[in-house]
Amino acid sequence: MASLDGLMLWTVYGTLAALSLGIAAAFVRVLRGPTLADRIVALDLVAYLAIGFLGTYAVLADESTYIDAALVLGLLAFLGTVAVARYIERMHLDETTERP
């Protein structure tokens, strides 16, 4: 564990707790979201909160490998969101075009 002391250690633990609560709340939205777009945004939020969690844990563990994992997760989350947005757009275009 890193050589954190006093207020900094409590701040890191508080941040990890807050991020964990945020991830749990976003998962509820993923499960209950009324539309596909709401679920995708909530899943994107989960990914970005996980990136924050990994970054905070990297400070706590004094291990830079978690930062690399956070960068990869950010890239995958972005690419996944773009792919799903294109899918939703294509699905919407198919619904609005008239078929003979």
Condensed to tens digits (0 to 9), the pLDDT of residues 21-69 reads: 999 999 999 999 898 889 999 999 999 999 999 999 999 999 999 999 9
Burial 19-47 (b: 16+ CB within 10 A, else e): beebbeebeebbeebeeeeebbbbbbbbb
Q: Where are the domains of the chain?
A: 7-96
* pLDDT reading at 79 higher than 80: yes
For residues 82-89, average pLDDT: 89
pTM: predicted TM-score of the whole model, two decimal places: 0.84
